[in-house]
Structures are given as C-alpha cells and as structure tokens.
Structure 1
Amino acid sequence: MSVNNPIAPLLADNRTLILDGALATELEARGCDLTDPLWSAKVLIENPQLIYHVHLDYFNAGAQCAITASYQATPQGFLRRGLDEQQSLALIAKSVQLAQQARADYLATHPQAAPLLVAGSVGPYGAYLADGSEYRGDYRLPQEEMIAFHRPRIAALAAAGVDLLACETLPSFTELQALLALLQQFPHLGAWFSFTLRDSQHLSDGTPLAEAIAALQGNPQVLAIGINCIALENVTPALQQFAALSDKPLLVYPNSGEHYDAVSKTWHPCGNDPHHLINQIADWQRSGARLIGGCCRTTPADIQAIAERCKA
C-alpha cells in the first residue's frame, strides 16, 4: 500500500504550506483555564465548540493545515479523569471532527482555498507526564511500552480520517524510534516529525541531530521534518543544520518570541520586537523551510501575517 502524501501537491512550484498557530494558549486567551495535566485536551471535555472556533479562525487567517487538539489527549491521561478507553478514544476522534468541521465550513464559503489539511497531533510521552519533560527528553520507557502508549491515539486519529500525523515537540531519540516502528502498522499514513532541541545540533535528550535525521531519511512515511515550540533566535541555525542533513521538506512552527518557564508554567517576554517572527520568515525560507506556522503564544493574526508575507 502506498503512502498518502497530501503535502506534496501543496509544496509544488516552490510554494510554502501555511500551518496554523497555537491552540492551547489561544484557548487560554479566550478564557479557558488550562492549569491541568490534560492541558488543551481538557477543553475537548468541557467546551469542544471553542476548539472548533479556533480552528475556523486559523483557516480564515490563511492556514492551510489545522493541527488537532489531541496533543495531550491519551487514554492514559483521560483515565485519571475517570474516563474509560472507549470514552477517551471518542474524544480523540472528536478532536479530528472539530477540525474537519471547521475546514468544511470554511471551504463552503471559500472553495478556492482547497485543499486544506487536518494533521492529527501526536504529542510526546513527556506531554502526558505534564512536567516539562518534552523539553528535556529525560524519560525512559522500553520501546514496546512506548509503542503501547502511542498506539491507541494514533489508531483513533487514523480511523477518524486525518490527512497525516503531526508527531510534534519530540525531545527523545528512543521515542522517535518507537514512533517510526509504530507507523509501520499504518502503512498508508504519513507523518511529519518535529523536535525540540538542546541546541542547533542536538535533540533535547542530547542525541546528535545527524543521528536522528539519519533514522528518518529514506522513510516514505516521513513527509517532512523540523522543529516546533522553539525560541525564535534558535530557528535559523537549527534549520540550516536540518537542511545540511536531509532532503525532506523542512517545517518550522516556533513560539511567538516569549520564553516559557516549564517549572512555573509561565511565559516571560524577552524584549523582541513584536514583529520579529514575521521579519524572520525570509531567513527561514532561505534556510529551507517549506511548512511554516506558529506554536505557543502565536495567534490567528500572526498566521495571517505569515500567510501574507509568504504570498508576497
């Protein structure tokens, strides 16, 4: 069975694929309290229509790909809230349906925008731990246990009809290996792999970037690779390393420019020009970025600015 690659046509003729922006911090800006181990997955239970409206706002801003609200949605996490596996898998499917409905409603009035994609978010094991370890990668699970952790969510996302998976904010080489092994069980489904980094040459767990990328090269299910949830000043040197090591399409969706304290779970300004993200787009494209969006603290206004800059 051949791998479905929905991003290839959107990257034809040297075009840039515009991803959406932050979900959780945008939900917080709209009144949600996410001081909870479930983070944005909590809103799937409490106010799913708000997630739909955020997706729709990103499509209205020019995004061509919505990333589902399943980053921290796992049967293991929902079990702590008293939900059984069937209820948990239904919520993961709900995350896909909300993005698909937003896409359908947007295309009903903007048919020329097609095709638009829905990427199923697969957050790392560290996100389930909710202790900031997705920025350290200092957790260890045997590969079979890691596969068992990720399998139910990926199966639910696939069954709900995502166009591809977004394996994102990955800090760990052993987790990367487990996800690649698991992906073989879904041979039609492609994924992008997006990492957190210790520096421009190492994953957060210290694995040399060259070793991680070598594991991805040549795999037809790996549709794009790159970085997300990264400070703006680290983007260009990291992209240059990726470009030197891989011929896969590169993606980047960094944070807004503020810095996150994973211990206090708070954001702190770092003195950047508020338009600094937009001013770096050309550098990222020169460094090979083909899929560009935003992560924490970015907004629909940021995605609109990125879309307009890339069109220009």
Structure 2
Amino acid sequence: MRVPFRKFIDEHPNEILVLDGGQGTELENRGVNINSPLWSTISFVNDKFWDENIENTERKCIREMFNDFKDAGANVFSTLTYQTSFSSVSENTDIKSLQEYHELLRKITGFCRRCISDDDYLLGCIGAYAASIGAEYDGNYGLFAGKIDYLKYFKPQLDEFNNDMNIDIIGFETIPNKHELEAILSWDEDIINRPFFIALSLSDKNGLRDGTSFEEMGRLFAKYKGRNKNLVYVGGNCISYAYSIDNIRKLHDIVPHLNLIAYPNSGEIYDQKSKQWSSTSAIKISWEEVVNEYADAGVKIIGGCCRTTPDDIKQIKKAVDAL
C-alpha cells in the first residue's frame, strides 16, 4: 500500500519516480479513435464502456496500456482526463449538470485506479485552458488573457480531484500562458488542498510558448513563493525532447527551492494545422543522457508525453535505476 504522497516526498527526498508515457497517442497506436474535443476521455462517455457484461475493445486497450506502462517500470500514472474540463464535457456530450460531470470523473478515476494498483500513485490530470482552444503550442489566449476567469474554468474538475481518494497528486499540464500560470500560483490551500504540480509548455528558445521569459517567470514564482504549501513540483511537459535539458536547467535556476518534473515529447514535431506528427532533424540523444541531465538539475519525476511509448518508459526506468 502506497504512503501518502507528501510523506513519500519528505521521507525519500532523493528518490526519482517514473511517470507513464503519452497515453493519448499510445491509445491511437492501439487503434482507439480519440479524434474528439475530449481526446483520450472520449471512450468514457459511452455507456457501453461501463458495461462489463459487454466486450469492449476500448476498455481492453486502456487496461492493456496501463499494464504495459506498469511493466515498463512506471510507478506514477495519469488519469485520462487532460481535456475533461466541465466546459468541454458539457459542450460536447449529453452531460450538462455538475452532478453528472462529477459522477463521470469519479468513474474515470476509479477505473484508472483499478488498472494500476494500490502501491502506485495516481495523478489527477488537468489540462491547460489552452486545451479547450488548441493553444498549447503558442499560448495565444487572445487580447484579454489577463481577464479570463481561470478559477471558474478549472474549479469543477479541481473540486472533484481535491476530494477523490483515488487521486494522490494533481497536475496542471501544458501551461503556456503567463496569466494562467500566475492564476494557479495565486491559489492557496483552500482552493488546492492536495499535493500538486505545474507543468509548463516551454518553447525551444526561452520561456513559455506565449513569449514569457524565464526571468519573468522567476519573478512570478518569487511573488507567490509560499502561497500554497501543496505546490511540490514545477516542470515541463509536451516540450521538445532535444531542447528539454536546457529548459529544465533554466527552470531549476529560477525555482531552486522546488523539485522538478519533466516529461517531454518523443522528439517528433506536431503540426497543429494538419494534426500530424513528423520526424525532426534535431540532434538525437539517448534517454540515459536525458535522465542523467535531469537528475543533475533536480528532477524528481521523469516520464514521457506525446508519442512516447512503454519502450521509452522502460529506457527511462533503466536509466533511473542506474543513477
């Protein structure tokens, strides 16, 4: 049986956990159609998914995916809830009330928990506001990004995860915009009462996708330092594999008081217009090299994002064990 996440961090300050890989793209590889505004959550809104008396290919694929990531060495697993905000669900399904929405989330987290074990940690995945408007890669939230009510957007999902005993840690993922980052940093324990992290969507050059520099981010983290004791990690996800080491080092420089989390993409490039992935000519480096560099920079959770597979996680686990 796992110990509470906060206790684990306090008692094992030097241990590195291994996160699973790119769930959505891995399900695509296994034949699951996730072409939906809800992305990898889409399978769960079908009533037939929940009927164990009916054979369901998607249910089988999801269970096998979790099992393969577990066999590869992962001990932290994400819920399939990245694009599962109340606004996205209510706009794209027959679920319209908060009660129905919370019931759906509980069913999803319960299913994900049963796919792993009581010894593993389950990460309550919350996608950025960008996920609802397709802006993860540019952070363009429009002219009034500073006036968006981010708490109103996140609150239905956040409230459920705050009270779900299946969830060990909450992750705000792929945050590309400084206004959104500042909003999350400003929330105290009354709003987020579980251990949580913020994973940023970083450009290949210098800072957030919206153009915010590391220096400016550093000022934001300093401004809200200590606001919420439950903030246990900051890091990057859905970031370029080739440039992630430099980005993580720069993050360490601006938040030396926080542990880091890193789960980059496979190294392929995503085209938002064609919605296709393509290989890149960027210099190839091994997971062993990446893990060693991450560890030197203070990274305590390492995994993969889009297009990373159980084989990638196996390589990460091997490299972590060799440290």
Q: 1:84/1:213 Cα in 2 relative to 1: closer, same or farther (>3 Å)? A: same
Paired residue for 1:178, among 153, 160, 183?
183
Contact 1:68–1:99, Cα closer than 8 Å, also in 2: yes
1:137 maps onto 2:150 in alignment:
no
SS in 1 for 2:116: helix
How many angstroms apart in 2 are the aligned matches of 1:151 and 1:6? 26
Q: Deviations over 1:157-182 (max 9, x none)?
A: 22222111111100011112222344
- Identify the residue that residue 303 of structure 1 maps to in structure 2: 313
**Sequence identity (%):** 28
Partner of residue 111, structure 2 = 98
> Does 2:167 match 1:166?
no
The within-5 A match list for 1:184-195 is 184-186=189-191, 188-195=193-200
TM, length-normalised to structure 1: 0.87
Structure 2: stretches of 5+ with no match in the other structure: 50-57
Higher mean alpha-carbon deviation, 228-237 vs 45-54, is at 45-54
CA-to-aligned-CA distance 1:126-150 (integer Å, 9 cap, x gap)? 1022x2x011111145556221110
C-alpha separation in 1, matches of 2:8 and 2:270:
30
Contact preservation (8 Å) 1:143, 1:178: no
Partner of 2:153: 149
Give the match for residue 6 of structure 2.
5
Q: Which amino acid aligns with 2:105?
A: I
Residues 13-92 of structure 1 correspond to what in structure 2 (within 5 A)?
A: 14-46=14-46, 47=49, 49=59, 50-80=61-91, 81-85=93-97, 86-92=99-105
Measured in 2, the distance between the counterparts of 1:211 and 1:7 equals: 32
Structure 1 distance, partners of 2:6, 2:189, is 15
What displacement does 1:190 show?
1.7
CA contact (8 A) 1:18 1:293 kept: yes
Change in 2 beyond 3 A, CA 1:51/1:181? farther
Could you tell me how far apart the structure 2 residues matched to 1:10 and 1:91 are? 34
Aligned CA distance change for structure 1 residues 138 and 6 (closer, same or farther; 3 Å): farther
Q: Which amino acid aligns with 1:221?
A: N
Count of residue correspondences: 298
Q: Name 1:111's counterpart in structure 2.
A: none
Counterpart CA distance in 2 for 1:30 and 1:20 is: 16
Q: 1:157 to 1:222 in 2, by over 3 A?
A: same
Shift of 1:210: 3.0
Q: In the alignment, does 2:256 pair up with 1:243? A: no
Say whether the 8 Å CA contact 1:4–1:188 is kept in structure 2.
no
Residue by residue over 1:208-256, the C-alpha shift from the partner in whole angstroms, topping out at 9 and shown as x without a partner, is 2233244344342210111110111111111111121112111110011
The 1:36/1:6 distance shift into structure 2, 3 A limit, reads farther
Structure 1 CA distance for aligned equivalents of residues 148 and 285 of structure 2: 44
Distance (Å, rounded) in 2 between the aligned partners of 1:27 and 1:199: 27
